Every structure is written in C-alpha cells, then in structure tokens.
Structure 1
C-alpha cells in the first residue's frame, strides 16, 4: 500500500486543484491554503539546492509570485508540488545566472564550511560525514536524493521536475544509493 504524500491534503480538506480553483476565483483562502501546504517543502527544496540562507525567503516569495501569476497554466491532473518545485528550481537558477555565481552557489555545501571540533558526539560526526558524502555527488544526484528521500516524491514527479525519464531516474537513484553505501562503509557509517 502506498504511503500518503507529505503534501497530501487532509482527508476532509480541499485538494490542491480545489485551492487553485479558489485562488483563480480570487479567493484569498485558495492562495493561503496553497502557501500553508507547500511552503515548508519549498523552503527545504531550495535549501537543498544550496540557495544561500539569506536568499531563501526571497526565492520562496518570488516562486510563489511566479506560480500565482501563472496559476491558470497549472494542470490539475499533475501534482502541484512538482509544478511549484520546477518554478522554484528555475527561479534559483535564474538568480544564479543573473549574479554570475552559479558554480559557487551550487557547489557550496554546508559540510564544506564546518570545521571539526574535539568532543563532537558520534551522531554529529556521522551526520557531517553523510553530508560530505552527499556533497561528493553531482548536483543532479543530490537533487535526486533530495526529491526522493527528503521530499518523498514519487519517481514520476521527480521525472517531471528534472526533465528525465522515470526509468532512468530509478536506475540512477539506485546507483547513487549503492555508491553512498560503499562510501559510507569506508567512512565507518553502517546502516542501522
């Protein structure tokens, strides 16, 4: 049995399509419902793309502004999250290109800025090592891991966000996991 999607509406609540319809009618509750439901996952997605923390709020606002400006273009047969993440990703990339810092921002990862301190608890060391392992992946591989594991998106939606086939992404995802498992074993991290 499939697990419910993290951004799924409550059983008695409106669907994303209902909220979009309300927003297109000019109802404030439609816009607010979409923001309330999707804000946390959009923030997490932009952070995982390595958007600088001071910029995340601006990117979120710009993403929602663009989405709401083109709400009539949204296809209610497709997940709203996928559509919103695509807009967010493009907004971030546009910002990077505009400011000529794309490579620096995309390659920057919190693990590379941390310094080791003595007496760090074992869990923190493992977390930092995992972050370093993730930082060793390509941008697309990190995004794939983020969307599948942290955002809990199905491969079909990930294929829409990344513009690749579902089958190719499944294969790539399993190869990335295998690579991470091998590297984690070398670093002394073992699965629980």
Structure 2
C-alpha cells in the first residue's frame, strides 16, 4: 500500500490543460520543472517558427526562443491568468523578437556607416561572415573614447548632444571625434593589412 501523498503528487502533464499546468508549475517551481517543461514542449516548435519568420534567420530565432523560455520560467509566478497562457507567451515572444530585430538593425546601421556591403558578406562562408561582422573586430582600431562615441551613437542610438553630455565634451568636439573615428575605421576596412 502506497502512502496517499505519493499518489496525490503524481500526474500526467500531457493530459493537463495549459491553465492546469501553469498552476502546477507555480506550485512546483523551482524544485520541480515537470509542468513548465510540458508547457514549453507544447509551444517550442511554434515559437521557433514565429521567431524565424519574424527575424528571418534561424540563429536569431533560436536565441530569442531561449530568452523567451527563460522569461517564462522566471515570470510564471507573476502570470495572473487574465489572458490565456498562450496569449501571454506570444506577447513575450513578440516583444523579444522586436528587441532582437532592433539590435540587428542597429548593428547593420553601424556596418553600413562603415561602408561594408552586406551583399558581399552573404556569399562568404558563414564563419567568416560572423568574424567580419563582429563589432569588436572593427572597434579595436579606435581609441577607447572614440569607440564609446561610436557605440553610443550606433548601439544606443543617442543624439550627438546626448553623447556630448555623457562624455563631458563639447558638441563640436563630439561630432569631430565621431567623424574622425569613422574615417579611421573606413581606412582600416579598405586596407586591412
């Protein structure tokens, strides 16, 4: 004869609704992840497909899916059930896709400003494309102050006056350093050796 408490704790996750799994996950996490794992198993493929279509590539889609799963894991206890779990999940997914898209867009703007042709990169092997598009590879050729100006301009998308205020520099000095840093990077890209 088995103890009644053991019989009560056993359940079949695949037979439960999303709402029941959310309730189970809230009571189990972080000691047990069975209900959470079932929720993610149900939606993993669809999440990946949504991300891949939105972002246009599988690498970014995989990264976003991982981020979504972590956000769900840590956010389940705050899920109030005002919407369906599926709606909440896709809301997180959409927001993460937008964030990733904006990151890639900023990175592309920086590469465009450095006069790199993304079409040329597309035809090279994937590993060398990743190496060539690495911002760190290009930014090592400028001094730290100029690198910070470029990062604040392209990655943080700040205006020159905001950058000048942050860097405690004059507006004209900030613009001049920005222009010189871009020129130096362009020269290095044109003559890498």
Q: TM-score, normalised by structure 1?
A: 0.43
Greater relative contact order structure (CA < 8 Å, 6+ sep): 1
Q: TM-score, normalised by structure 2?
A: 0.43
Structure whose CA Rg is larger: 2
